[in-house]
Chains A and B, each alone.
Chain A
């Protein structure tokens, strides 16, 4: 079925957004991205290393994958806004995955700094996709600030703990007028399928693929899981029942 993902007026046929961190080599990453079918993929901004060979940018360009710079590693709104501006200058895109974390141990978003940065970047003309807590109120405030999507975590970055609070994700989906993208915490394919069944518009993941025993196979499984979950969401699950309901006719 024709069911494109729409973000800020741009259309994507894949609902799987990939990160590029954690892959053992560019070659492994390349094959995983191809298997995932992704059309939008995050990169980080760092000091240039004159000795580094190969570039994730040329890999993405060769695959025709749109680049989504992030502000990973920023602890304050001021830092995040500066990194977003550097990314816009370097990559020629005003899209940014806004990430403002509170501490290294949990990598959880700092809600106060996040909202401050989102406000400034929207005012500055950015298309802002904020990585946020699974907090329906903060998600609403980010949407009101003009963010083009909200990206609640399922669980902490890289933890693979799946979606710890499905109810909150449902609440966010229910009231959001922008796409809800489940970002962070996916451990395996069933987690991605559940995110889509809950009504998320897309899933963003990296670690579960790039650090899998076979990144390429896991990428393919994520592609299928996201598609399956989306179909199930459209199909509508049957209500949960306390007791059995015979599926064969009782009479005859």
Chain B
């Protein structure tokens, strides 16, 4: 009878550990960016026709601009804080 709660507890524990390993790093606040999609082949024609074949291009450029804004903010948290190492005698 005692085994049922034990099986349940270890089952929950195993699940917690499993999903904990799988969870993505959501707390990263570093100025990193995602890869933009690779170029695709386009058909030739007028400028408007050619450029309208890649409607996501402007969004990709905007995404890079946003990454650049993140990079502009220097992360000063890594600068070591100062301490006293002298008794001053």
* Real binding pair: no
Binding site for B on A (CB under 8 A): none
